Amino acid sequence: MSDAWVRGTVPAQKSTGAFMTLHSTDHARIVEVRTPLARTAEIHASEMQGGVMQMHAMEDFLLLPGKRVELKPGGYHIMLMGLARPLAAGDTVPLTIVIEEAKGKRQTLEVKAEVRPLAK
């Protein structure tokens, strides 16, 4: 995992996105994401459907060996919903990512994502 960041919010905004680059050496999948700063954290996909950008939650997210996957605005990303407070540039958001390996063993990845200005 590299370059983890979260988009900053404005007062009263209750959701935002988290982004990063993921890579794995084995077949694995992300089965859960959580943070103490939001009621819900989900992996989402953004896709054009009928000329309109649609977003939907994914039950899990596949990681392939040797392949880098970029979670980015307008594509795959982590949605943080029900934020406990506004997030300002320079804040840090702790994320726990639960990864399940092909044989079923689970491990957690603790990520500290820097909050970047809303305009990014």
Q: What is the pLDDT along the chain (120 residues), one digit of tens a residue?
A: 899 999 999 999 999 999 999 999 999 999 999 999 999 999 999 877 788 878 889 988 999 999 999 999 989 999 999 999 999 999 999 999 999 998 999 999 999 999 999 875
pLDDT at residue 47, rounded to an integer: 79
DSSP secondary structure letter of residue 24: B
Q: Count of domains in the chain?
A: 1
Tell whether 120 is covered by a domain: no
pLDDT, residue 114, reads 98
Report how far residue 101's alpha carbon sits from residue 27's, in angstroms, rounded to the nearest whole number.
6
Q: How far apart are CA 13 and CA 15, in angstroms?
A: 6
Q: How far apart are CA 80 and CA 37, in angstroms?
A: 8
Domain housing 21: 2-115
CATH code of the domain covering residue 14:
2.60.40.1890
